Amino acid sequence: MKHCSSCGSLVIEKIPDGDNRHRWVCDQCNTVHYQNPRIVVGCVPELDGKVLLCRRSIEPRYGYWTVPAGFMELGETMEQGAARETLEEACAEVRIGHLFASVDVVAAGQVHLFFTASLLGDFGVGNESLETALFSEQEIPWAEIAFRSGTFALEKFFEDAGANNGVHMHQVIWKGRQ
């Protein structure tokens, strides 16, 4: 951040009055520009014991497989976001179940939150996917999963075997890969 998004002046990094950490601040119009983590919402759409995965047609991790997931948008709930991402990436309608996995990706400033889901009908291939397919636990291409948060979610999904055991918490530490 270089400029104030309100007035266009150059911002400086300082601790605002009453705060305890450095922020981008505009000394011209006194706006404090807070920056906070973003939420990635996803789900594991299930049908007859198999789960729906998407092979990515976009970077990062082009060509790798992922559960349907993406940045939560303003104007929607977490469940709505997870369902929207599934519609966009796999042209599939789902009924969202319960929240079962949470992954902090601190280096990226992200929290990834995963729901169980029931696949309600057919599925297809969205713009951000090369292909989509249903996999049993044994069929999942574990070495080709795009993100470690997705691997964690899939592992816990099958461990839970349909039960709601609360939210499995995890932290991904970046060491050269996501």
Binding site for a second copy (CB under 8 A): 1-11, 18, 20-21, 33-39, 71-79, 88, 98-100, 102, 104, 106, 109, 111, 127, 164-167, 169, 171
Sheet holding 32-33, edge to edge: 12-14, 23-25, 32-33
Cα separations in angstroms, 21 against 9, 18, 32:
21, 10, 12
Output the smallest distance, CB 143 to a second copy, in A: 27
By beta-carbon proximity to a second copy, the closer residue of 57 and 135 is: 57
8 Å CB contact between 144 and 65:
yes
Output the smallest distance, CB 131 to a second copy, in A: 19
Output the smallest distance, CB 38 to a second copy, in A: 5
By beta-carbon proximity to a second copy, the closer residue of 47 and 78 is: 78
Name the residue with tokens 């990094």: 13
Output the smallest distance, CB 119 to a second copy, in A: 20
By beta-carbon proximity to a second copy, the closer residue of 136 and 171 is: 171
By beta-carbon proximity to a second copy, the closer residue of 73 and 131 is: 73
Cα separation, 52 vs 92, in Å, equals 9
Reading the block at residue 170, the tokens are: 């995890």
Output the smallest distance, CB 134 to a second copy, in A: 26
Category of 49 on φ-ψ map: left (φ > 0), alpha (ψ -120 to 50) or beta: left
Centroid of chain to Cα 136: 22
By beta-carbon proximity to a second copy, the closer residue of 134 and 167 is: 167
